[in-house]
Structure 1
């Protein structure tokens, strides 16, 4: 069975950071490569395994932001082009480009609308009276910036792979339910559609439109 593996990059990076921990850009890229290829070996019954042929690994993400934004608490201008995250992300994407069978599908960050917001857990404490405005610190604020084009690229590639019969199986590493329509289309075209949410809970409507649910590392399946 020829298999294409599609990775929602932002989701993978966040989930890996939480469940496995911080790693260098090169280590994280190698980890992703190795993890994806674990999907090519599938157990059938108790004693048998089958090996799939890898078509390609499609990685979807956005390049890091280079904009300067003034922090609302400190009133200091932050240059995101020189941030540690920017340096790490640039190295990470460059490393993935060197890996065989990897195809990067990059969207854009909507940096024109980027802004700092109070973190959700801090907002709850403010509303409940557990914190006051005078208690806030610089770390209680987080940058908010949306991705553009990533979900569309994933949906288009699922449709293209399905209509052109380029693969028999699609593995999607994501926790997003926005891909229900794309999953339904793939299944109608005879594609075996497998979802890997990296151990995260998924919405009930996704179960109806996938052929399998599989996470390849127990580290992701621990309690939230």
Structure 2
């Protein structure tokens, strides 16, 4: 079997998933669900390949209190900006706490899954947006990713590396992998932004997969549910359809037992139906 290692720049790859969902208007997967993410990564594995490890690079979120303290301690912010942030924080503290809990839980669940290693960088506050929300920057993520790619390449632990990032800063690490005989691949999503040419120069192949195809079983289930709901809403007794003259016809399920009047083709007049019994001649 061909041994493969995945290297996932989470913030970068998450943006790709979000772009696909926005373009296709289809949210058949949840990128904050560990099981969905594992299924997505599995869709990038060929039949002759075996995953050695999935290296997952991101930063744990800041606790709301630590975020608040970091903003208040920044010397490059005016008092007016800090007052606006206090108002923002008071209005959104509950949402910030929920985000911290959900994101931390997501990373912890991933860390407990098979073949996945979390490589945590450092998250820092770098100022405020116009709406007073914090500006965050990740530190050390690119460095950690580059070191891991170089390490598995030097040690020949794998035959292929698949990267999920479009950041050109990892070019030196990919070049190191190629120099050591490792096949380098960019993992790409259909309907997302294409990898930059500057990055493709240091990779041997771009492997593109479709979220829709990977989660096709989920689409079939949703379609069947919609059909069942439509059947329940429809009336089985009266179905309306259009004829060639665009006239609406109503087809009744119960047909009348009474016979229709016959038409005389000569004068196009209706003849009354004779329901009397014939009398035998004496």
TM-score where L is the length of structure 1:
0.74
Could you tell me how far apart the structure 1 residues matched to 2:85 and 2:50 are?
53
Q: 1:24 to 1:188 in 2, by over 3 A?
A: closer
Whether the 8 Å contact between 2:59 and 2:138 is mirrored in structure 1 is yes
How far apart are residue 204 of structure 1 and its match? 1.6
Q: Which protein has the larger Cα radius of gyration, Structure 1 or Structure 2? A: 2
Deviation at 1:219, TM superposition (A): 5.3
Choose which of 37, 44, 53 in structure 2 pairs with 1:39.
44
Matched, 1:172 2:186: no
State yes or no: 1:116 paired with 2:120: no
Match among 143, 151, 154 for residue 160 of structure 1: 151
- State whether residues 170 and 192 of structure 1, in contact with CA within 8 Å, keep that contact through their aligned partners in structure 2: yes
Residues in 2 aligned to 1:36 and 1:24: alpha-carbon distance in whole angstroms: 11
Name which structure has the greater RCO, CA cutoff 8 Å, separation 6+. 1
Q: Deviations over 1:111-162 (max 9, x none)?
A: 3xx32123xxxxxxxxxxxxxxxxxxx4xx5421110111000000000000
**2:77 equivalent to 1:94:** no
Unaligned segments of structure 1, at least 5 residues? 42-49, 119-137
Question: Of residues 50, 70, 73 in structure 2, which corresponds to 1:53?
Answer: 50
User: Does residue 213 in structure 1 map to residue 193 in structure 2?
Assistant: no
Q: What aligned pairs does 1:51-200 form with structure 2 within 5 A after superposition?
A: 51-66=48-63, 67-68=67-68, 69=71, 72=81, 73=84, 75-76=86-87, 78=89, 79=93, 82-111=96-125, 114-118=126-130, 138=131, 142-198=133-189, 199-200=192-193
1:80 Cα deviation from its structure 2 partner: 8.6
- Is 2:214 aligned against 1:203? no
| SS of aligned partner of 1:40 | coil
